[in-house]
């Protein structure tokens, strides 16, 4: 194991401190330039360092959150039967539209199969499940549950497996 990964200060790895330090350098110069209006040089230096020390960890968190959001992003598309049938690995992109539009509610099992296909599996209670594929960042494929009552769809639920 690398030394940098083994070192931990206050429960935070040394690599996080190094990243914050790297972020601090450009921030220091940005703050120094923005605070030129402070005429007292000693006061300007102290204020610049304090703002840098406070803003660097915040910038680190914001950058990390942005990277995480970018990696987890996927588009929510309007339902397209041809794409649903042909690309089973990206069905998760259509699930929210299917659910929010309530397009399946009131449909018979035959109508659902005509629209979504026959590649579902059934539970003992009569619910059908369609695999939606792996959403970005998930470890298990998502699924969409279709509940029937009296031969008609009464509810459609998405199961996310992160």
Q: pLDDT tens digits, residue range 135-158?
A: 887 788 899 999 999 999 999 999
pLDDT band at 4; cut points 50, 70, 90:
low
Q: How far is CA 115 from CA 26, 82, 101, 103, 108, in A?
A: 55, 10, 14, 10, 11
Q: For 81-108, what is the mean pLDDT?
A: 94
* Domains (range + CATH), the chain: 3-72 (no CATH), 81-159 (3.30.1450)
**Own/partner pairs, 55-60, CB within 8 angstroms, 24+ separation:** 55/27, 55/31, 56/20, 56/21, 56/23, 56/24, 56/27, 57/20, 59/23, 59/27, 60/16, 60/19, 60/20, 60/23
Q: What is the pLDDT of residues 32-83, one digit of tens each?
A: 999 988 888 889 999 999 999 999 999 999 999 999 888 888 888 999 999 9
pLDDT at 143: 92
Residues pairing with 142 in the sheet: 133
Query: If you average pLDDT over residues 77-96, what whole number do you get?
Result: 93
pLDDT at 6: 62
pLDDT grade for 9, boundaries at 50, 70 and 90: low
Largest Cα separation within the chain, whole Å, is 80
CA-angle at 77, arms to 73 and 82, nearest 5°? 125
What average pLDDT does range 94-98 have in this prediction?
Answer: 95
């Amino acid at each position: 194991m690398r030394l940098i990964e083994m070192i931990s200060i206050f429960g935070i790895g040394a690599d996080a401190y190094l990243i914050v330090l790297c972020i601090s350098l450009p921030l220091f110069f940005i703050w120094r330039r923005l605070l030129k209006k402070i005429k007292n040089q000693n006061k300007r230096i102290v204020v610049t360092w304090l703002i840098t020390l406070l803003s660097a960890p915040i910038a680190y968190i914001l950058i990390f959150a942005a990277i995480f959001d970018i990696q987890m992003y996927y588009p929510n598309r309007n339902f397209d039967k041809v794409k649903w049938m042909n690309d089973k690995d990206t069905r998760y992109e259509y699930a929210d539209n299917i659910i929010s539009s309530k397009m399946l509610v009131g449909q018979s099992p035959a109508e659902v199969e005509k629209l979504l296909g026959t590649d579902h599996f059934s539970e003992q209670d009569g619910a059908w499940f369609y695999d939606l594929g792996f959403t970005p960042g998930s470890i298990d494929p998502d699924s969409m549950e279709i509940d029937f009552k009296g031969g008609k769809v009464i509810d459609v639920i998405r199961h996310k497996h992160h």
